Amino acid sequence: MKLNLQRFGRKFFFITLCVEDRAKVLSRINPDATVTLLPAGEAVVAAWLETHSRNPALTASNFIIMPDHIHLLLIANYDIDPNFDLIGWIKDFQRRSEKSNDHGGSGAPEPRQSNAQNYHGGSGAPEPRPSNAKESSLRGFGGLPPYHWGFGGLPPFHWERRFWLVLSFSSRQLKTIRRYIKLNPARALWKARHPNRFTRLANIRHPILDASRQWDAVGNPLLLSSPFLFHVRLTRKMSLEEHKPAIDEIIEKARHGMIPVSGFLSPGEKEVLRRLKEEPLARFIKMRPCALPPSYDPSAEDSRELAADRMLILSDFPQSVADAGAIFRQNCLAMNDMAAAICERANANDHGGSGAPEPRPR
């Protein structure tokens, strides 16, 4: 694999590495979304913090050590080292962090922390101790790693040889990446506590949805059963200041229980979404002008709202749109037309009942 990029100036690389078999040996996530490092995680941090001393052209920026994977934001200054090989660096980092863990521990098992410091679903009840005192499986984000304890302590871990890499091209994207890293432990807790709100619902049916199209969703499907849906569409041809009266009216409607439906794509619509998220009782439906892929992972900002049961992400586009990786203007226009039709059917109040949409067989 070879990266083709302009080798001058600073480049920002967002790197994700996963532990082999997704073994949760690096850290534990606490109920307050803080992270407690295990010996293997400490070895990874030590290898990461050596980055600049090993190559002055590199800066170890934001990072997070999750139980079974890590996210790193690496800054490379190609003006200092125009021959820097990112792929080679990643492979070297994997080797160094694995090797450090081989010899980094004391050989003794780590003392079991109290249940108050671990996440067991929020009940606060102590976790039953396994019948075999030398073996424990990781429950939720607490407990001990799923390995046998012996005289050697934790066995060495290994990285998956594949990895995920994103090159940031804008300050906005960089800000999103940094926020994603910061909120990753909280997102893991939200998903563990509310798994149904992060499950992709495939090919759902509901009286207000066009039955001739395939609808996929993530979030609270009961929002579709409200008779108080209203469409939000704010043109790009007007400034935020010009849109302010309309935005204020939209927020006031949401405060009184009405549910806006929009793609939230234009600057005015994005401002609406930002203000909706500041309203603790507001609920909203976010349409997508492309497909929801099977492995869809909501943004950090959307994850908070999904966990609070006040958001639904909805799409009626086939997977081929997602595979193409394109969001065409005609898709946005079609999405807006469909959003308007959904609100019109909801306001007609002809779908009776308050049940959730019915998922079709996959």
Query: What is the per-residue pLDDT across 47-88, written as a single tens digit (0 to 9) for each?
Result: 999 999 999 999 999 999 999 999 999 999 999 999 999 999
Residue 3 belongs to some domain of the structure: no
Mean pLDDT of 302-315: 95
Say if residue 208's pLDDT is above 60. Answer: yes
Task: Share the mean pLDDT of the chain.
Answer: 82
Say if residue 125's pLDDT is above 50. Answer: no
Helix (H, G, I), strand (E, B) or coil at 189: helix
What are the residues facing 261 on neighbouring strands? 231, 285
Examine the domain organization and report whether 187 and 201 are in the same domain. no
Q: What is the pLDDT of residue 101?
A: 63
Mean pLDDT of 264-269: 96
Q: What is the pLDDT of residue 153?
A: 46
Most trustworthy range by pLDDT among 91-95, 136-140, 151-155: 91-95
Q: What is the pLDDT of residue 155?
A: 58
Helix (H, G, I), strand (E, B) or coil at 166: strand
Lookup: tokens for 246: 């309309």
Residue 288 belongs to some domain of the structure: yes
The answer to whether 286 touches 258, Cβ cutoff 8 Å, is: no
What are the residues facing 284 on neighbouring strands? 311
Strands of 200-310 (E only): list them: 201-205, 215-219, 229-231, 259-262, 284-287
Q: What is the pairing mode between strands 35-37 and 27-29?
A: antiparallel
What are the residues facing 229 on neighbouring strands? 259
User: Which of 187-191, 253-257, 296-300, 319-323 is the least confident region?
Assistant: 319-323
Calculate ∠ Cα 296-64-124, nearest 5°. Answer: 85
Question: Which residues make Cβ contacts (< 8 Å) with residue 98, sequence separation at least 6?
Answer: 156, 157, 158, 159
Q: Indicate the pLDDT class of residue 107, thresholds 50, 70 and 90.
A: very low
Examine the domain organization and report whether 95 and 67 are in the same domain. yes
Say if residue 10's pLDDT is above 60. Answer: yes
Lookup: tokens for 128: 């039953």
Examine the domain organization and report whether 14 and 154 are in the same domain. yes
| d(C-alpha 349, C-alpha 351), whole Å | 6
Residue 129 belongs to some domain of the structure: no
| d(C-alpha 195, C-alpha 92), whole Å | 36
Say if residue 11's pLDDT is above 90. Answer: yes
Examine the domain organization and report whether 187 and 203 are in the same domain. no
Q: What is the pLDDT of residue 282?
A: 97
Mean pLDDT of 230-249: 96
Say if residue 144's pLDDT is above 90. Answer: no
If you count DSSP H runs as helices and E runs as strands, how many of each does the chain have, helices first? 9, 13
Mean pLDDT of 79-104: 86
Residue 127 belongs to some domain of the structure: no
| d(C-alpha 68, C-alpha 337), whole Å | 42
Using the 3D structure, point to which of 191, 209, 230 is the last residue of a domain. 191
Range of the domain at 26: 10-122+134-191
Q: What is the pLDDT of residue 126?
A: 32
| d(C-alpha 346, C-alpha 283), whole Å | 15
Say if residue 213's pLDDT is above 60. Answer: yes
Examine the domain organization and report whether 179 and 205 are in the same domain. no
Which of 278, 268, 279, 265 minimizes the C-alpha distance to 245? 268
Question: Which residues make Cβ contacts (< 8 Å) with residue 147, sequence separation at least 6?
Answer: 23, 25, 154, 155
Q: What is the pLDDT of residue 9?
A: 92
Examine the domain organization and report whether 156 and 43 are in the same domain. yes
Q: What is the pLDDT of residue 336?
A: 94
